[in-house]
Amino acid sequence: MSEDKYREEEDKTQLLIRTAHCEMPNLAKIVNCLITDGADALPEKCHMLPGIPVEPMLANPTKGVSEILTRFEDLEFTSEYKYDGERAQVHLMDNGTMRIYSRNLENNTSKYPDVIDKIRQCFSPEVKNFIIDAEAVAYDIEAKRILPFQVLSTRKRKNVENGDEVKVQVQLFAFDLLYLNDKPYVTKPFHTRRAALHKHFTPQEGSLAFATSMDANSVDEIQAFLDKSIEDSCEGLMIKTLYQDATYEIANRSKKWLKLKKDYIEDGGLGDSFDLVVIGAWYGQGKRTGWYAAYLLACYNEDEEEYQAICKVGTGMTNEFLKDSNEFFAKHLSESGKKAYYRTTESSKPDVWFEPVQVWEIKAADLSISPAYLAGVGEVHPTKGISLRFPRVLRIRDDKKPDEATSSSRIAEMYSAQPLVQQNGPPRR
DNA sequence: CTTGACTGCCC
DNA sequence: ATTCTGC
DNA sequence: GCAGAATGGGCAGTCAAG
């Protein structure tokens, strides 16, 4: 066999195995098939089947609408709302059993008996089996409004009884169809899968909706749709090719979709950014062993003249930044440990405390009510403070003194300005 | 029985 | 989740 | 461009201590 021919065969075998593993993530079965029947038998013996979870398609972040146009060039694509919930892969098996799997292929069926009951009303009897891809989102049925991720996460996770009163209602936002009536759809282009999804399923208020989408491809239209998605309490957009390079074949490329969130956009400083004081650090793991690897950050409360911890940060730093910061803060250790004017809880106590000497600009996706941090305590909640979701370092702000850091009142204001807080009010209790 | 630390899984 | 880095 | 390895907040669930 020639060198080229050998490589080709090797690539083919690898793709067969990868595909089988995505569609039937069961190594024992795959190895067994390889031993007894060979790789060529994999498509027949280890293929997608309702009841068995499938590796979900993921998305790459993009920094703006222009990057989307560059990446997809002349391909036609669609934009969809990116809902802030939990990935839900919904299966119907031949025997009528339904299952729901998470993004990491965990069986979440016992978490969602109510959702499964409701979804049964959303397809007709000629639908014998399927796998659909959806986002499970906390939902206020009376107000017909999406609720925050933080609400969804308070749902019970195990042994939710069907008769139980479920405190957090969930609506599914379906966006893809991977299998229907004994036929895999993953090799079909997205426009076909989406059309079949819309044809065979019927949305019902409070149970099932289709992800809001828009097919136009101009910069202005996408930008407007992104703005609208934020107003409508979503995280941003998912961008997906419709015709070419539009299959759901994870083995080829697991991140074929793009995602666009407001906080990714560098240009113009869109998205929330904060100027925060570094007041402590933790030692790291693995390649960061022996280094200050995560830093405790605080905002400034002007009334109390104190620094209130708001979050940790350990990403967004280059190796050079990490090294420089280690050298710098080693010179600014607090001899007395925690300062009297540092407001923190026991649960967010760093390995070392620093003097308040440097301000970092931090980017985040959202602000949340926190059990662990005390930023703005008393301003939106009597005993809890505010923290940041997905914090990362942007840069050092040497032009700002520590007491010029973002104020706690500004933090509280930004918390309250979030669309979901505006619509639903501050959390109770 | 209650509390708090820890784990595993969501993002 | 986000980000950086080595391949 | 991708995979791997660092790192984030926060929840229910678990289990041992009090």
Q: Are residues A98 and A33 in the same domain?
A: no
Please identify which of the residues A82, A188, A261, A363 carries the catalytic annotation: A82
CATH code, domain carrying A133: 3.30.470.30
| Owning domain of residue A155 | 79-217+243-250
Residue A404: both structure tokens together = 């010029």
A346 touches strand B (CB under 7 A): yes
How many independent structural domains does chain A possess?
3
Query: A420 and A278: one domain?
Result: yes
For chain A, 429 residues long, give each residue's pLDDT as a single digit of tens: 566 667 777 789 999 999 999 999 999 999 999 999 999 999 999 999 999 999 999 999 999 999 999 999 889 999 999 999 999 999 999 999 999 999 999 999 999 999 999 999 999 999 999 999 999 999 999 999 999 999 999 999 998 987 667 999 999 999 999 999 999 999 999 999 999 999 999 999 999 999 999 999 999 999 999 999 999 999 999 999 999 999 999 999 999 999 999 999 887 666 789 999 999 999 999 999 999 999 999 999 999 999 999 999 999 999 999 999 999 999 999 999 999 999 999 999 999 999 999 999 999 999 999 999 999 999 999 999 999 999 999 999 999 999 999 999 999 999 999 999 998 888 865
A190 vs A304: CA distance, rounded Å: 56
Is A111 designated active site?
Answer: no
- Detail the DSSP E strand segments found in A236-378: 236-241, 257-261, 272-283, 292-301, 306-313, 342-343, 352-353, 359-364, 366-370
Count Cβ neighbours within 10 Å for each residue of A31-60 and write b for 16 or more, e otherwise: eebbeeeebeebeeebebbbebbbbbbebe
Compute the distance between CA of residue A251 and CA of residue A53 in angstroms, rounded to an integer. Answer: 15
Nearest nucleic acid nucleotide to A235, CA to C1' distance: B11
pTM of the model: 0.96
- Which residue's CA shows the smallest distance to C1' of D3? A254
CATH number, position A280? 2.40.50.140
In a domain, A257, yes or no: no
For residue A174, the SS3 value is strand
